[in-house]
Chain A
Amino acid sequence: MAGLQLSNVTKSFGETPVLNSIDLSVTDGEFLTLVGPSGCGKSTLLRIIAGLESMDGGSLTIDDQDVSQVRAADRNLAMVFQSYALYPHLTVAENMMTPLKLRDLNWSERFPVMGPMLGRGKYRALMDQVRDTADILKITPLLDRKPGQMSGGQRQRAALGRAMVRNPVAFLMDEPLSNLDAALRVHMRSELADLHRSLGATFIYVTHDQAEALTMSDRMAVMMHGDILQLDTPHEIYTNPQHVDVASFVGSPKINLLPVDEGEGGRVSVLGITVAEAEGPVVQVGIRCEHLVISEAVKAHAWEAHVVHLENLGSDLFVHCAIAESDTRLIARTSPASRHFMGQTVYLKADPKAVLAFGKDGRRVPLTAVAQAEPKKTLRKRAAA
């Protein structure tokens, strides 16, 4: 088990840059997810860590040893591929024996027929290792089957088994759940998390599904266009995104993004309603749908809108609204018990503490005052005027 360090890693395919100077530090035993849309470079980064791709520049250290020039087979990392990549002609047991045989047996012991006879003791020891791992993953009854005779979920476990069996320094997983159906995927998420807890090993996990990243990781790195936009715990990423792209990518339904009125610096207002005060110029604000309060009664500092779409998921009701006299749409989350209907006029108020302000370059701008205090000031000013 080891800490991993990537410094200044760059990579291009021909003329196209794929990774722009990536710095990443993985602590021993953590579950780190690389998440982002397709093409952001996450799989490439994983393969560079594995050694299956070479990096154009930068370095990789594992346990303080520079492994940038070490070939993949020597790095003692294990990888679970999206397509599982199990050897189709071997049984599960033989698949799992392969990494053990290649490492622990010498040349003569690996020979097809003679080998097992020569190294009988060793073979048995390796087989025991295989059986132990199979027990943990509960695939013991599958040991004599070939990949073609198993379901997707079973194959996935077999691939995991093959990775686990030799206790690698870290586990690299390239979208291992993508090929499973939805229900199985949710189940496997918790299984993988359990596995991580029981093994205590470092997991580096790649996915395009932000829900997977949020639910499984200790830390997640949101990547886009070859950069890591933010590396933080899931909670921080969700509540404190440092970039508007991070805020949009994470969270379902997508965060409400509203353009800010031209106006006095500092004060942030959208369509006439002041929502906050910020420490710098703000171009757009994001408000998660659970931070929008929707009501039928008129409220101060609320946008007037009418309902254009309703999504009742059973546990939540998502109300899509169009703000009066504008093109802006908002989605608010509320309880299914509330009675909303199409075309209804509603009033949406943003929770000022939860408003996220973003500047011109997409970066997060911290807020200063809370808008709640504002109205009093304004009213008094008006009254005075």
Chain B
Amino acid sequence: MTDAVLENSPSLAKPRSDGSVFRFSTTEAMKHAVLIVGALIVLLPFYVMVSYSFKAPSEIMTQTGGFFGTQELFRDDFCVKLGNAAEDCMVRPIIYNYTTAFEKAPLLRYMMNGVIVTLSIFLIQVIVALPCAYALSKLRWWGRETVFALVLFCLLIPVHAIALPLYIMLSKVGLTNSYAALVIPWTISVFGIFLMRQFFMTVPDDLIDAARMDGMSEYSIIWNVMLPTAIPALLAFAIFSVVAHWNDYFWPRIVITGNRDLFTPPLGLREFKGDADGDNFGPMMATAVVIVTPLIVAFLIAQRRFIEGITLSGMK
């Protein structure tokens, strides 16, 4: 609509009937200029990450080679050290980087850990939160308001803050260095309870009463009636949870102290960096690319959902 007020330039020169006439105005151009500069700064590390994951060490040191690197064969010194002939050790940079990433750090293993941990966390969160949200919204019982107040109180507690005592408790029970340790502290998501409860409040009681009349138990009402209606909210929550836990570094760092097999992707990258003799920038960038890509791709595909999710999670 040609809303004259919200157009940025007061010079309404041409009548715009269907908005197809492109009006070039200086303020618009300046806005784009600022936004583009911002975009370049934001994208800089991504550019560096992707580009250097393609490049040979020499190109990395000298910042040459354009975006993709020239992809000239270079000599893999490590392979030579192992006793192979020089000619056998010529590799293409991109292949070298990515294969080293997957081999030197068992990247596949780390990715799998990430999937296992993230999925487990989310599933358990749903199993714990959904019934509780249902009870808080659709069942009447003594103490209901108190429990909800408890939920609201717990929303205030930043999980980072309680990491230390949790660590102590886990190590007393001997559970450090395990999947359990990675998953357990996150099983209770008060945010999930809150979100789902708000959502469930909007489901008409009649729907549930009808199900009860049909003879459904309360338990099956949750999974067969409430869950399907709550898919959008659940999706938003899923996104929030997956992103937070896939990227989480602090807690795994504390709780996984020796067993490299349990490293989540960020831990894996960190370990790789720690190991690296400062020369392995190529493979390190490649590792970073592999870790970061899944969520970015998912984000690009389902942008609106993501942003909805973050907004929902924001507007507590």
- Residues of A whose CB lies within 8 Å of any CB of B are 12-15, 51-57, 69, 71-72
4 further A-B pairs in the complex, CB-CB below 8 A; given A12-B18, A54-B4, A69-B12: A14-B17, A14-B18, A52-B3, A54-B12
Judged by DSSP, the binding face of A is: loop
The answer to whether A71 touches B17, judged by C-beta atoms less than 8 angstroms apart, is: no
Q: Do A15 and B18 have beta carbons less than 8 Å apart?
A: yes
Q: Are B17 and A12 in contact (CB under 8 A)?
A: yes
Chain B residues within 8 Å of A14, by CB? 17-19
Alpha-carbon gap, A165 to B140, bound state (A): 55
Nearest B residue (CB) for A69: B12
Is the pair A72, B17 in contact by a Cβ cutoff of 8 Å? no
**Considering the complex, which residues of chain B in the window 75-109 have a beta carbon less than 8 Å from any beta carbon of chain A?**
none
Q: Is B45's beta carbon under 8 Å from chain A?
A: no
> Can you spell out 14 A-B residue pairs with CB atoms less than 8 angstroms apart?
A12-B18, A14-B17, A14-B18, A15-B18, A52-B4, A52-B5, A53-B2, A53-B4, A54-B2, A54-B4, A56-B17, A71-B4, A71-B10, A72-B4
Provide the bound-state CA to CA distance between A14 and B19, in Å.
8
Which residues on A sit within 8 Å (CB–CB) of B17? 12, 14, 56
User: Main secondary structure on chain B at its contact with chain A?
Assistant: loop
User: Known contacts being A69-B12, A71-B10, A71-B12, is A51 close to B4, with CB within 8 Å?
Assistant: yes
- CA–CA, A202 to B3, complex, Å? 25
Cα A15 to Cα B17 with chains together (Å): 8
B212 at the interface (CB under 8 A from A): no
Task: Find out whether the CB atom of A72 lies under 8 angstroms from the CB atom of B5.
Answer: yes
CB of B143 within 8 Å of the partner chain: no
Most buried by A among B10, B16, B19: B10
In the complex, what's the smallest C-beta–C-beta distance from B4 to chain A, in angstroms? 5
A57 contacts which chain B residues (CB < 8 A)? 15
Q: Is B1 engaged at the interface, CB distance under 8 Å to the other chain?
A: yes
| Complex: A255 Cα to B229 Cα, angstroms | 50
Q: Are B3 and A53 in contact (CB under 8 A)?
A: yes
Q: Please measure, in the bound complex, the distance between the C-alpha atom of A51 and the C-alpha atom of B1, giving whole angstroms.
A: 14
Query: A55 — which chain B residues lie within 8 A by C-beta?
Result: 15
Q: Cα distance A335–B19 when bound, in Å?
A: 58
B8-48 near A? 1/0 per residue, CB < 8 Å: 00101001111100000000000000000000000000000
Q: Which residues on B are within 8 Å of A, measured CB to CB?
A: 1-5, 10, 12, 15-19
Q: Which residues of B contact A56 (CB under 8 A)?
A: 15, 17
With a CB–CB cut-off of 8 A, which chain B residues contact A15? 18
Evaluate contact between A54 and B16: CB separation under 8 angstroms: yes
**The 9 A-B residue pairs with the shortest CB-CB distance in the complex, in nearest-first order:** A54-B4, A56-B15, A14-B18, A71-B10, A54-B2, A56-B17, A54-B12, A12-B17, A52-B5
Residue of B1, B3, B5, B18 contacting most chain A CB atoms (<10 Å): B5
Complex CA distance for A57 and B19, rounded to whole angstroms: 15
Q: How far is the CB of B13 from chain A (nearest CB, A)?
A: 8
Report Cα–Cα, A140/B10, bound state, in Å.
Answer: 37
Closest residue of chain A to B15 (Cβ to Cβ) is A56
Q: Chain B: which residue is nearest A17 at the CB level?
A: B17
Least CB distance from A49 to B in Å reads 12
Tell me the minimal C-beta distance from A73 to chain B in angstroms: 9
Nearest CB in chain B to that of A13: its residue:
B1
Closest-CB distance, A18 to chain B (whole angstroms):
11
Query: Which A residues lie within 8 Å of B19 (CB)?
Result: 14
Within the assembled complex, what's the spacing in Å between the Cα atoms of A376 and B49?
Answer: 104
Chain B residue numbers with a CB within 8 Å of A51 are 4
* Shortest beta-carbon distance from B5 to chain A in Å: 6
CB distance from B16 to the nearest CB of A (A): 7
| Closest partner residue, chain A, to B16 (CB atom) | A54
Contacts of B4 in A (CB 8 A): 51-54, 71-72
In the bound assembly, the distance between CA atoms of A53 and B16 in angstroms comes to 11
Q: Which of A53, A54, A72 has the most CB of B within 10 A?
A: A54
Nearest-Cβ distance from residue A72 to partner chain B, whole angstroms: 7
Q: When chains A and B are docked, how far (Å) is the Cα of A71 from the Cα of B16?
A: 15
User: CA A56 – CA B17 in complex, angstroms?
Assistant: 6
With A and B bound together, what is the CA distance between A14 and B4 in angstroms? Answer: 15
Provide the bound-state CA to CA distance between A58 and B215, in Å: 68
CA distance A167 to B4 in the complex (A): 24
Give the docked Cα–Cα distance between A55 and B2 (Å).
Answer: 9
Task: Compute how far the CA of A105 lies from the CA of B18 in the bound complex, rounded to whole angstroms.
Answer: 38
**Whole-angstrom CA separation of A53 from B2 in the bound complex:** 7
- A54–B18 contact, CB under 8 A? no
Contacts of A72 in B (CB 8 A): 4-5
In the complex the two chains form, what is the Cα distance from A142 to B246 in whole Å? 55
> Separation in Å of the B298 CB from the closest CB of chain A?
35
Q: Which residue of A lies closest to B20 (CB)?
A: A14
Instruction: Provide the residues of chain A in CB contact with B5, threshold 8 Å.
Output: 52, 72
CA distance A57 to B1 in the complex (A): 16
| A71 CB to nearest B CB, Å | 5
Residues of A within 8 A of B2 (CB): 53-54
Report B-chain residues with C-beta under 8 Å of the C-beta of A71.
4, 10, 12
**A350 CB to nearest chain B CB (Å):** 48
A residues within 8 A CB of B3?
52-53
Cβ contacts under 8 Å, A52 to chain B = 3-5
Query: Which residues on the B side are within 8 Å of A53 (C-beta)?
Result: 2-4
User: A57 to B18, alpha carbons, bound, how many Å?
Assistant: 13
Minimum CB distance partner of B6 in chain A: A52
B21 nearest CB across to chain A (Å)? 12
CB of B275 to closest CB in A, whole Å: 57
User: A residues within 8 A CB of B10?
Assistant: 71
Q: In the complex the two chains form, what is the Cα distance from A213 to B260 in whole Å?
A: 81
Give the distance in Å from the alpha carbon of A110 to the alpha carbon of B17 in the complex: 37
Residue in chain A with minimal CB distance to B4: A54
**Residue ID in chain A nearest B13 by CB atoms:** A69
Within the complex, what minimum Cβ distance (angstroms) separates B10 from chain A?
5
Q: For the complex, give the distance between the alpha carbons of A309 and B310 in Å.
A: 60
Contacts of B12 in A (CB 8 A): 54, 69, 71
Distance in Å: Cβ of A200 to nearest Cβ of chain B: 29
Shortest CB distance B196–A (Å): 31
Closest chain B residue to A15 by CB distance? B18
Query: What is the bound-complex CA distance between A161 and B74, given in angstroms?
Result: 80
Contacts of B15 in A (CB 8 A): 54-57
State how many angstroms separate the Cβ of B23 from the closest Cβ of chain A: 12
